[in-house]
Amino acid sequence: MDENILTKIQKHHDVDEHQKIIDLISRLNQNDLNYELTSLLARAYSNIGNFDKSISLLLSVKEDGEYDDLWYSRLAHNNLLNEEFVIAKDLFLNALTLNPKNQRTKELLSACYYLIGKELCDNNQCDEGLIELHNSLEHTSSKVKIYLEIADVFISLHRYEDALTSLKNVIVVEPDNLLACINLAFVYYNSRKFNESLLYYERAIELDNKIGYHYYNRGRCLFHLGRYEEAIDSYTKAIEIVPGVSDFYFEKGKSQVLLNRNDESLICLEKAIEIDPKQISCYYLKSMVQYLLNHYEESLHSLNTIIGLDANIFIVYVSKAEVLIALEEYSEALECYDIAMSIDPYNETVADSREELLAIIGD
């Protein structure tokens, strides 16, 4: 073969002039198109995104390539880019059989396993997907992304202990990985390990103090730990960063109630409702605070608003009955207990309250 041709091809390849390689080889006599030139032509087509053409060229020299790990790798890479992940995986395995020490092939094989696993998990075939994701770990030196993906799958399955194992593997390699810290905090929170969760939310704040949800989630941990004053401070910081989130005001209001700051709580809850007029939990807490302040008519209005949004919430009718009793509207209260019993016929507490009310009406 003319060495000059190979030199030109390499020069064009080095500066990404792949179409020039195609033009150069295409002008050659077909008898000169041997295994090496065909492989280089296939590489050029792959580099301009014509993967089908590249695959076709490589398959045309299959007999010569069957014992060449580079042929398998090139064919696999084209299939990988063509999103034929299973075919690519098998071809990369063949390439590794011929050249077990090729790290690039191992990394590309790992990518195949990763993409196959992710696709399976996205299609709710998580058991099979997790096997592929763990296979991906075996062939790569860059494990963090894969551990994070595995953790996400375990979190979606509520397998929090398994998720913790994967996330701790990330932290060993990258102690400052923000996503791992957030996910660790989330997993501990959902495992009701609030002290551990708090530590990782605080670590997330150290890594990025511009995200309101870090402070919000920190506040929720503090709330569960009974540290309501600190929780309020954390929610206030979240509101400063992102003032338009209803949940931030709702949670702040909830903490204020537990510190008997009912008037301040109402201000927060009004703001939460202003942002999201359909948030039932805000109206319900607001009705409770109004009841505590002996503002029974206002409390009744809040409960009626909830019923207008959703007429099938058991506890709302129970609470409404209690407000109506405070207003001495006994017949209407009885109607509320009856509706509550129709929603939950076996609730003994409500049944007892109803009987007590009947006794009052009878008297």
Contact of 69 with 105, CB cutoff 8 Å: yes
Q: What is the pTM assigned to this prediction?
A: 0.85
Q: How far apart are CA 311 and CA 329, in angstroms?
A: 20
User: What is the amino acid identity at position 225?
Assistant: L
Q: What is the pLDDT of residue 242?
A: 96
Assess whether 304 and 356 both reside in one domain.
yes
pLDDT tens digit string along 27-53? 887 777 889 999 999 999 999 999 999
Average of pLDDT values for 108-131? 96
CA dihedral 211, 216, 221, 222 (to 10 degrees): 110
Average of pLDDT values for 131-137? 96
Q: What is the pLDDT of residue 363?
A: 60
Average of pLDDT values for 315-338? 96
Residue 246 inside a domain? The answer is: yes
Residue 111 inside a domain? The answer is: no
Q: How confident is the model at residue 56 (pLDDT cuts 50, 70, 90)?
A: very high
Q: Is the pLDDT of residue 1 over 60?
A: no
Q: How confident is the model at residue 211 (pLDDT cuts 50, 70, 90)?
A: very high
Residue 361 inside a domain? The answer is: yes
Range of the domain at 347: 298-363
Residue 44 inside a domain? The answer is: no
Structural domains counted in the chain: 3
Q: What is the pLDDT of residue 187?
A: 98
Average of pLDDT values for 75-86? 96
Assess whether 265 and 214 both reside in one domain.
yes
pLDDT tens digit string along 263-286? 999 999 999 999 999 999 999 999
Q: Please choose, from the candidates 275, 353, 346, the residue with its C-alpha nearest in 3D space to the C-alpha of residue 319.
A: 353
What percentage of the chain has pLDDT greater than the value 70? 99
Residue 272 inside a domain? The answer is: yes
Residue 101 inside a domain? The answer is: no
Average of pLDDT values for 327-354? 95
Residue with tokens 């209001």: 253
Average pLDDT over the chain, rounded to an integer: 95
Residue 311 inside a domain? The answer is: yes
Q: What is the pLDDT of residue 30?
A: 77
Q: Is the pLDDT of residue 362 over 80?
A: no
Of 26 and 126, the structure prediction assigns the larger pLDDT to 126
Final residue before a domain boundary, out of 208, 225, 249: 208
Q: What CATH number has the domain bearing residue 341?
A: 1.25.40.10
Assess whether 180 and 230 both reside in one domain.
no
Residue 273 inside a domain? The answer is: yes
pLDDT tens digit string along 282-311? 999 999 999 999 999 999 999 999 999 999
DSSP 49: T
Residue with tokens 């505590």: 292
